Amino acid sequence: MARVASNPVGLHRFRPCFQVAQLQQHARTSLHFRNEHRRFRTVSCQQTPDPTETSTTEKSIVEPGSGNDSSSQATSSSRDSGPPEFPNKNTNKQVALVSTLAALALFLSGRLDFGVSLKDLSVAALPYEEALSNGKPTVVEFYADWCEVCKELAPDVYKVEQQYKGRVNFVMLNVDNTKWEQELDEFGVEGIPHFAFLDKKGNEEGNVVGRLPEKYLLENVDALARGEASIPHARVVGQFSSAEARKVHQVADPRSHG
């Protein structure tokens, strides 16, 4: 007992050595654990990242704010835009009104341009005798009510007639009327429609027979209206109906030009 009490210095010296070694070992263990813990955090995906940690991996996940911002803006804009708006009743009424007006305009244009019949032309035509005596150039059309080509060209004839109305006479002679037998022979009508172009004195300058473009009739009439010595299309023949198929009849009024 006296020996133990006499050596207090040995015990005092041993205790600090043990404490220092224990502290160093504890520090190494703590540092290793901290490094392992930090390494694990850089590899795994953390739900609640520590704001104090600024590793490269964490920056690569958080810093691309432009992509996230644009996607969030696109999402918010798509939400703000909402579903597409459908036309209301006022818009539907306006569309219906425009469609109705367009249909009406188309109908009227069809009536004006393509609703002209041979009967309309014959009623508006000038009598043959009067046309030869008023000192104006004349277009004489030989036609028949059964002639399909004549019916087809009626709108074109009407357009040209309206354009040169008052400057050129337009005469319609029905080949089924026996009254015009002499004129049929005089102008050599073999097919219809047959258009004869006469100058101011009644002399024939040329003729156009059958289905042809409108410009043939228009250019010839224009030459007559300007007093040209000749017409550009003097002898042109297209598809026509044979005059031999005409249905001869005698009209009640011999003065009729139909």
Residue at 194 is within a domain: yes
Residue at 74 is within a domain: no
Does the pLDDT at position 19 exceed 90?
A: no
Residue at 246 is within a domain: no
Does the pLDDT at position 207 exceed 90?
A: yes
CA-angle at 241, arms to 237 and 246, nearest 5°: 130
Residue at 119 is within a domain: no
Please confirm, yes or no, whether 17 is among the known catalytic residues. no
Domain hosting residue 200, numbered range: 137-226
- pLDDT confidence band for 81 (50 / 70 / 90): low
Report the distance separating Cα 131 and Cα 119, nearest Å.
Answer: 19
Number of independent structural domains in the chain: 1
Q: The domain that contains 187 carries what CATH number? A: 3.40.30.10
Does the pLDDT at position 70 exceed 80?
A: no
pLDDT in tens, 99-150: 888 776 655 554 444 578 999 999 999 999 999 999 999 999 999 999 999 9
Quote the pLDDT of residue 106: 58
Please confirm, yes or no, whether 45 is among the known catalytic residues. no
Quote the pLDDT of residue 24: 55
As given in the structure block, the two tokens for residue 78 are 């798509």
Quote the pLDDT of residue 54: 44
* Contact by Cβ (8 Å): 172, 122: yes
Does the pLDDT at position 153 exceed 80?
A: yes
Residue at 46 is within a domain: no
**Mean pLDDT value across residues 163-172:** 96
Does the pLDDT at position 214 exceed 90?
A: yes
* Contact by Cβ (8 Å): 194, 147: no
Residue at 192 is within a domain: yes
As given in the structure block, the two tokens for residue 244 are 């031999």
Residue at 146 is within a domain: yes
Percent of the chain residues past pLDDT 90, beyond the cut: 48
Residue at 191 is within a domain: yes
From the candidates 144, 147, 192, 217, give the one annotated as an active-site residue.
147
Quote the pLDDT of residue 85: 58
Q: Which of 212, 205, 203, 199 is nearest to 169 (CA)?
A: 199
Which single residue is written with the structure tokens 């010296």? 13
From the candidates 131, 150, 192, 231, give the one annotated as an active-site residue.
150
Element (H, E) at 218: helix 214-225
Report the distance separating Cα 244 and Cα 166, nearest Å.
Answer: 34
Does the pLDDT at position 82 exceed 50?
A: yes
